Structure 1
Amino acid sequence: MTTRLLMPRSCTQYVKLFYKLFTQTQGHRYLSNVYPPAERIRKFITENTELTGEQSLTPEIRLRLFTPSCRFWRERPELWPFDDPYWAIYWPGGQALSRYVLDNPEVCRGQTVLDLGSGCGASAIAAKLCGAAHIVANDIDTVAAVATQMNFELNGLEPPACLTENMIGSEPEAFNLILLGDMFYDEALATDLHNWLDSCIRTHGTKVLIGDPGRAQFESHHIRRLLHQLAQFELPESVREENYGLTCSSVWCYCPEL
């Protein structure tokens, strides 16, 4: 497996260009200052995503995502006005994690939950549907935070607390459960995650569930030997096509040697 598994096939090269081009085109913003920032972002998301989710592992969750019929699936990347839109794709690790939570509601019921690298907010939505007492969705992209709020509303749920600061490496907070999907795409990030998750578990006894389809950086990292597989899901055909033929995605419980 290679790092190409990070992106759906149809928009891999496009998304890779986003950050470079964004830094060169900040003066060419899509939205004016007529609306408050959150409202401008909501308007942009509404106009440039599509309601979907039926062909995922969690058809009961509705999400606003990129699809081939959306403008920016093929649009020139220099016209994109924000940071990389990782929030606009329902990654296979997140799909497996959300499916596992929905199938095992006792994991989240009554718990305080952190959805780390929350993206579109699907795992946080699953936790809320299963009765989580309090949820924090953390993603360093402000647009992802707005998308998460919108996706909660689509599912008839009160939006969660959304934090856009980088929590990895921060003082551990007292979460009962941390959910993270598709976060092991870079070796340095994987190591930072490993150290921080250890700290969270030692400090608060936090349970950690990880969703990943078997990316090379995940399989080769030393954290892998500390994981216990809880479930494996076959990916729907459409998800396989968008992720270079990946057939399965798994959920793991992190059990470090304390």
Structure 2
Amino acid sequence: MWRLRALRPALRGNAVSRGRNRRTDRARFGSEASVTQFILENTEVVSGNSLTPEISLRLFTPNCKFWHERAELWPFADPFWAIYWPGGQALARYLLDEPRVAKDKKVLDLGSGCGASAIAAKLSGSANVLVNDIDPIAAIACELNCELNGLDPFPSETENLIGSEPKGWDLILLGDMFYEEALADSLHIWLQTCIRAQGTQVLIGDPGRGHLEKLRIKRHLHQLAEFELPHAVRKENFGLTSSSVWHYHPEL
């Protein structure tokens, strides 16, 4: 049985890291149309039971075939894009509640997954949004989620942008990205570069997992908002009760 808990970065950080670093073998399905059809057949449209009921997403639920299938039958890299993580939920909720934060901004959604934070930014009036996830299947899933919410697909980038030259982003969004120390350290260095080079604002969504407390980046975070998680989200996340949005500022 393949349970959602098998993918939790809070408790299975090493497994998540391996999944994040493994390339998706799209050749097994061939065309983008085939991948799209596979996603349509193996996800369910969900619009409730989250912090952002106004956003619809294609996600894994107990009604989906691969929720119960053996993991080795899944043809791609681990489908983190099919889960609406609690940090991403808080980030999207904050953007919808505070539209001034993204309005008219050039936004990068780093580790975009299902694209909920990017969708929230666009619904809040951002000038343009780039979604970035190293899993190319996530980019296709994000296109489908844009369609569900009446938006044109976002430009997408599947190369790892961490460490790359800053591209003039006004706002960088990161949901549930701080699950591994090495990744957190590389983000810490790169985000400082983006902020100092072009004054980028950086917002982080995270439910305050124990691992975050141990990272040196924690002392550079200022909490902007905290949201109580709906019952269904608590159950899926081993009893986590809330999720927060943090402003990352290396001068703190």
TM-score by length of 2: 0.91
1:162 to 156, 161, 164: 156
Q: Structure 1 residue 216: deviation in Å?
A: 2.1
**Alpha carbon RMSD of aligned pairs, Å?**
2.1
Where does 1:183-198 land on structure 2 (aligned, <5 Å)?
183-198=177-192
Match of 1:13 in 2: 6
Q: Aligned equivalents of 1:84 and 1:102: distance in 2?
A: 29
Instruction: Using the aligned pairs only, state the percent identity.
Output: 61
* Partners of 2:5 and 2:237 within 8 A in 1: no
Match of 1:88 in 2: 82
Q: Structure 1 residue 256: deviation in Å?
A: 1.0
Match of 2:40 in 1: 46
Does residue 201 of structure 1 match 2:203? Answer: no
Where does 1:21-32 land on structure 2 (aligned, <5 Å)?
29=28, 31=29
Distance 1:254 1:120, change over 3 A: same
Q: Structure 1 residue 17: deviation in Å?
A: 9.5
* Residue identity opposite 1:165 in structure 2: E
Where does 1:222-241 land on structure 2 (aligned, <5 Å)?
222-241=216-235
Q: Structure 1 residue 13: deviation in Å?
A: 3.1
1:247 to 238, 241, 246: 241
Q: How many residues align?
A: 241
DSSP 3-state at the match of 1:193? helix
Gaps of 5+ in 2: 9-14
Distance 1:200 1:243, change over 3 A: same
* Residue identity opposite 1:158 in structure 2: D
* Partners of 1:10 and 1:242 within 8 A in 2: no
Q: Structure 1 residue 10: deviation in Å?
A: 3.2
Q: Render the CA deviation track for 1:178-197: whole Å, top value 9, x for unaligned.
A: 00000000011010111100
Q: Structure 1 residue 74: deviation in Å?
A: 1.0
2:53 to 59, 62, 74: 59
* Partners of 2:17 and 2:180 within 8 A in 1: no
Q: Aligned equivalents of 1:17 and 1:188: distance in 2?
A: 13
TM-score by length of 1: 0.89
Distance 1:170 1:81, change over 3 A: same
Distance 1:60 1:247, change over 3 A: same
Match of 1:117 in 2: 111
Q: Structure 1 residue 173: deviation in Å?
A: 1.4
Distance 1:236 1:202, change over 3 A: same
Q: Render the CA deviation track for 1:156-179: whole Å, top value 9, x for unaligned.
A: 001110110000011111000000
Q: Aligned equivalents of 2:216 and 2:152: distance in 1?
A: 38
* Partners of 1:18 and 1:80 within 8 A in 2: no
Distance 1:113 1:239, change over 3 A: same
Q: Structure 1 residue 76: deviation in Å?
A: 1.2
Distance 1:14 1:128, change over 3 A: closer
Gaps of 5+ in 1: 1-8
DSSP 3-state at the match of 1:189? helix
Distance 1:227 1:44, change over 3 A: same
* Partners of 1:19 and 1:84 within 8 A in 2: no
Q: Aligned equivalents of 2:26 and 2:85: distance in 1?
A: 31
Match of 1:79 in 2: 73
Distance 1:129 1:27, change over 3 A: closer
Match of 2:12 in 1: none
1:145 to 139, 160, 166: 139
* Residue identity opposite 1:177 in structure 2: L
DSSP 3-state at the match of 2:3? helix
Q: Aligned equivalents of 1:242 and 1:208: distance in 2?
A: 27
Q: Structure 1 residue 28: deviation in Å?
A: 10
Q: Aligned equivalents of 2:117 and 2:63: distance in 1?
A: 25
